[in-house]
Chain A
């Protein structure tokens, strides 16, 4: 049973470009969460999605950031017009169901570097 997959593992973008980060949850998991980890800092919740639905986006910056989890395919975190402050590790996690007591399994992360 493959774990949570993320790609790319490393992404370099110049300021103003777009970054697209992909996350495939574990088989059988229908809930996806995105977290951001700035250098030398902790993990900050960004968004929680179920297939075709955003459940909680309270941690998402108001501009430039968007997320989706379509019926088919991976979840996508999209950052438009990247700035240097977006440089961070972006982790996705998945769980089999909701309810707040389900274990979340993390992917390997995408390390974004903005030049």
Chain B
């Protein structure tokens, strides 16, 4: 079955710097790759997603890139702010269900 690996597990940056989180997946049938942000005690919230027919997608300070050949995708956050501090999860969908990475705890220091 699908397996998603996410790195790093923790990431600390200064406010205004960029943050990059990387994920790899194993199942070439996966064709949908969302990213969720989860604050402590809250539900996961979708921040951006990408489908297999595009290689890059951007929404303001957030961008995601996808390399289907290498089976990896990345989240880029520019001009980080303290409110970006949270746990970020990548996921891959081999059909219906989402298989999540282990999560990255991002800390943005003012």
Report, as a range, how many residues of chain A touch the other chain.
20 to 34
Q: Give the distance to chain A from B68, nearest Cβ to Cβ, in Å.
A: 14
Q: Mark B37-67, 1 if CB is under 8 A from A, else 0.
A: 0000011111001010000000000000000
CA distance A82 to B7 in the complex (A): 34
- Contact A42 B97, beta carbon cutoff 8 Å: no
- Contact B31 A108, beta carbon cutoff 8 Å: no
Provide the residues of chain B in CB contact with A93, threshold 8 Å: 98
Provide the residues of chain B in CB contact with A101, threshold 8 Å: 31-32, 51, 93
Q: Mark A9-40, 1 if CB is under 8 A from B, else 0.
A: 00000000000000000000001010100000
- Contact A106 B31, beta carbon cutoff 8 Å: no
Provide the residues of chain A in CB contact with B89, threshold 8 Å: 42-43
- Contact B49 A42, beta carbon cutoff 8 Å: no
Task: Judge whether B102 is part of the interface by a CB distance below 8 angstroms.
Answer: yes
- Contact B97 A33, beta carbon cutoff 8 Å: yes
Provide the residues of chain A in CB contact with B30, threshold 8 Å: 100
Interfacial residues of chain A within 61-106, with CB under 8 A of chain B in the complex: 91, 93, 98, 100-106
Q: Which residue of A lies closest to B97 (CB)?
A: A45
Known A-B contacts A42-B101, A104-B34; the reply to A55 vs B96 at CB < 8 A is yes
Interfacial residues of chain B within 53-110, with CB under 8 A of chain A in the complex: 89, 91, 93-103
